[in-house]
Structure 1
Amino acid sequence: MKKILISQRRDAIVERDETRDALDVRWAKVLFDLGFLPIPVCSELAGERSYLEQLRPDGILLSGGNDIGQAPKRDALESQLLDYAKLNKLPMLGVCRGMQMLNHYLGGGLVEVGGHVATRHLLKGDWASANCYSEVNSYHNQAVTEKTLAHSLEVLATAADGVIEAVKHSTLPWLGVMWHPEREPMMLEQDKQLIQTIFKREFR
């Protein structure tokens, strides 16, 4: 099975004097059911140069949670994951914050946006139509727009208000989406196909 490293949200639990990495348990089942071995990674090991080399991943998944800047060690780990993926030309999928982190890493920015938290909306664009996407979930209050998009990313889909909902890298097998495949009550067939395609290196 191909090993997919997954970043996690990082939260300070003050009443227990703990800092925790956490990941929605649905991601493990999603990836395992699709034939991949999910391996959550630890933000406290950001900067340990041998950490990722010892894990020897076949792909990277940057998950949701935490705005960029809220958890510096998570930000550092995800930058390290992207460095590793770039060096080794590994496939990478960024989900919600993960897509935002991809854009940030490549020099893009974010803007505050309304109407995208705990709702659903339609996708627009040829890529969305070709991949049978119509309506997706939405849980973000920051967004990538045409003005804040990194130069090396290409827009695949937008919402009706112009907010960018899916991107790909111009040369690397990297994809970002703003919806959460793992949060659907029944996982969409197009999301299954998307994940299988990116991590089997068939994505162009």
Structure 2
Amino acid sequence: MRRIGISARLDTISGRDEQRDALDARWAPLLWDLGYVPLSLSSGVSDVTAYLEALNLNGFILSGGNDIGSAHARDRLEKGVLDYSLERGLPVLGVCRGMQFINVYCGGSLVEVSGHVATRHNLVGRWAKEHGFGNVNSYHSQAILEETLSGDLVSLAESEDGIVEALLHKALPWLGIMWHPEREKVPSESDLALLKNHFLGE
């Protein structure tokens, strides 16, 4: 079974003097039912490359949560994941913040946006139509526009107000989506196909 590492949100717990790597529990059954072994990544390991080599993973998901720059240990971990994946040609799926992190890593930038938190919207574009992506959830206050998209990436789908909602690296097996498959009560067939095929290289 292919082993997929998933980055987690980094939470500071008030009154307990601790930080926690927190991952939505719905990711594990979603990936397990697709035939993958899900492994949550820890942000506190100092030598990220040695850590990832020891885990010997087949691919990565950069999950949602934390604005970029607000959780430095997580930023460092995810940069290490992309460095590692770049060198080895491993597949990466960025979800929400994870997609944004891929864009920033590749030299793009973000803008503030309204109307995209705790709502749903329709996707437009040929890729979305061909793969059955229509109405998706949305939980982000920062966004990527065509003009802030890295030159290494290509937009696959947009919302009706022009926000990039899915992207692909031009040379690497890195895919990004702004919606959360794990938050749907019943995962869509399109999301399941995307998760399965991306890590199989199909």
Q: Same fold (TM over 0.5)?
A: yes
Match of 1:113 in 2: 113
Q: Which runs of 5+ in 2 are unaligned?
A: none
Match of 1:24 in 2: 24
Match of 1:198 in 2: 198
Structure 1 position 87, deviation (Å):
0.6
How far apart, in 1, do the equivalents of 2:78 and 2:30 lie?
21
Structure 1 stretches of 4+ moved >6 Å: none
> Residue 132 of structure 2 contacts residue 190 of structure 2 at CA under 8 Å; is this kept in 1?
yes
2:19 is paired with a residue whose SS is strand
1:179 is paired with a residue whose SS is coil
> Residue 46 of structure 1 contacts residue 76 of structure 1 at CA under 8 Å; is this kept in 2?
no
Structure 1 position 46, deviation (Å):
4.4
Cα deviation per residue 1:63-84 (whole Å; 9 max; x = unaligned)?
0000000000100000000011
Structure 1 position 49, deviation (Å):
3.1
1:64 is paired with a residue whose SS is coil
**How well do the aligned residues superpose, as a CA RMSD in angstroms?**
0.7
1:37 matched to 2:37? The reply is: yes
2:15 is paired with a residue whose SS is helix
- Any residues of structure 2 matched to 1:140-151 within 5 Å, and which? 140-151=140-151
Match of 2:49 in 1: 49
Match of 1:3 in 2: 3
Q: May I ask how many residue pairs the two structures share in their alignment?
A: 202
> Residue 9 of structure 2 contacts residue 66 of structure 2 at CA under 8 Å; is this kept in 1?
yes
Match of 2:167 in 1: 167
> Residue 46 of structure 1 contacts residue 73 of structure 1 at CA under 8 Å; is this kept in 2?
no
How far apart, in 1, do the equivalents of 2:106 and 2:94 lie?
13
Q: One-letter code of the match for 2:193?
A: Q
How far apart, in 2, do the equivalents of 1:141 and 1:46 lie?
30
> Residue 8 of structure 1 contacts residue 21 of structure 1 at CA under 8 Å; is this kept in 2?
yes
Structure 1 position 47, deviation (Å):
3.4
How far apart, in 2, do the equivalents of 1:47 and 1:8 lie?
17
Match of 1:74 in 2: 74
2:94 is paired with a residue whose SS is strand
1:104 is paired with a residue whose SS is helix
Greater alpha carbon shift after TM alignment, 163-172 vs 43-52: 43-52
1:138 is paired with a residue whose SS is strand
Q: One-letter code of the match for 2:125?
A: G
1:99 is paired with a residue whose SS is helix
The percentage of counterpart residues that share the same residue type is 54
> Residue 48 of structure 2 contacts residue 80 of structure 2 at CA under 8 Å; is this kept in 1?
no
> Residue 46 of structure 1 contacts residue 74 of structure 1 at CA under 8 Å; is this kept in 2?
no
Match of 2:185 in 1: 185
Structure 1 position 179, deviation (Å):
0.2
